[in-house]
Amino acid sequence: MINQKLIQQMESYHFKMSHSNILNFYVLKHVSFKIPVKSKLAFVGPSGSGKTSIIQLIQRFYTNYQGEILLDGVDIKKYDLKKYRSYLGVGQQECVLFNGIIKQNMVQNTQNISANDIENAFILANTQEYINTFYEGLQKQVGQRCIQISGGQKQKIAIARVILKQPQLILLDEATSALDSQNENQVQKSLNTLMQNKKSISVAHTISTIIDCDIIFVLENGQIVEQGDYQQLMILKNHFYKLQQNSNNQI
C-alpha cells in the first residue's frame, strides 16, 4: 500500500480561527491538542461548537488561523498539499464524491490498487451487497452532486475509500450519520479495526462510537472545556456527562 512514511505525531499549538471578518470573533479559541502515535482522538460538543472547523483546518481548507498545527514537528502549511493530503483519509457527514463512476471515486489519489483490494474495502464498509444490486456494479455513475445514490450509500463509498487508502491519519466527521443503526454498527466495527494501528480524529454524533477513544475533547463555543477518556469524563459529572445525559446517546 501507499504512505510508507509513518507519521509519528501531530500537534497543535493554541490556534484560533475566525470564519468571518468580524474583529475578535473566533469560532476556535486557543484550541490545542496532541496526537501521539496510534492514538484515537475524538471531539464532541454541541452543534456550532467548532468540531467541523477543526477537521477542516487539519485538511488545510483554511490558512487564516493563528497558531500552528505541526506534523512531525513541521507546520502543515509547509508540506506539499497533494503529498500532505495523501496522508489523510476523510469520512464526513457531507462527503465529497465527484461526478463519475464508483470505481473512479474509490481509486482517486491511490496507487497500485487491485480489484481484490476494492472488493475487500467494500465488504468492510458493508457496501458490497448494494453495489451488486446495480446492474453496472462499480461502473455505476454517482451523478452530478451524487443525485443517483442515497446519502447513506454515499457515506459507505466514502468509508470504503478510507479503508482502501489505509491512510496515516483518519479524520471522521459524523461519517456514519446517514446510516441506520444496524449498518452503522457494522461499518463502525470495520472502522475500529482500521483505526487500531493508526492515528485518528473522530467527530461523533453518537457516544457509542467514541467510547474507546484514548482522549475525548469536549468543545463549547470554540474552546476545549474538558478532556479525558470516557471513564474520566463520566466521573467528572460535568460537560461531557451533561452532554450525554441530554442526548440519549446522540450528541
Ligand X SMILES: Nc1ncnc2c1ncn2[C@@H]1O[C@H](COP(=O)(O)OP(=O)(O)O)[C@@H](O)[C@H]1O
**Which residues of this chain interact with ligand X, rule CB under 6 A?**
19-20, 27, 45, 47-53
Q: Tell me whether residue 49 or residue 105 sits nearer to ligand X (CB atom).
A: 49
Shortest distance, CB of residue 193 to ligand X, whole angstroms? 26
Cβ-based nearer residue to Mg ion, 47 or 144: 47
Choose the binding region for Mg ion from 13-21, 45-53, 64-72, 105-113 (rule: CB under 5 A).
45-53
Nearest distance from C-beta of residue 120 to ligand X, angstroms: 31
| Range list of β-strands (E), 32-185 | 34-35, 40-44, 65-71, 74-75, 88-92, 169-173
Per CB under 5 A, 206 contacts Mg ion: no
Which lies closer to ligand X via its Cβ, residue 196 or residue 246?
A: 246
Looking only at Cα atoms, what is the longest distance across the chain? 55
* Closest CA relative to residue 113, chosen from 1, 4, 5: 1
Task: Look at strands 199-203 and 215-220 and give their pairing.
Answer: unpaired
The residue whose grid cell reads 459524523 is 174
Distance of closest approach, residue 74 Cβ to ligand X, in angstroms: 25
Distance CA 142, CA 159 (A): 15
Chosen residue from 12, 18, 49, 52 binding Mg ion by CB under 5 A: 52
Name which of Mg ion, ligand X, none residue 19 binds, using a CB cut-off of 5 to 8 Å depending on partner kind: ligand X
Partner whose binding site includes residue 49, from Mg ion, ligand X, none (CB under 5 to 8 Å by kind): ligand X
Measured from the CB atom, is 19 or 60 closer to ligand X? Answer: 19
Residue 61: other Cβ atoms inside 10 A:
9
The bridge status of strand 10-17 relative to strand 34-35 is antiparallel
Exposed (0-12), middle (13-18) or buried (19+): which is 141, by Cβ within 10 Å? Answer: middle
Output the smallest distance, CB 57 to Mg ion, in A: 13
Contact residues toward Mg ion (CB under 5 A) are 51-52
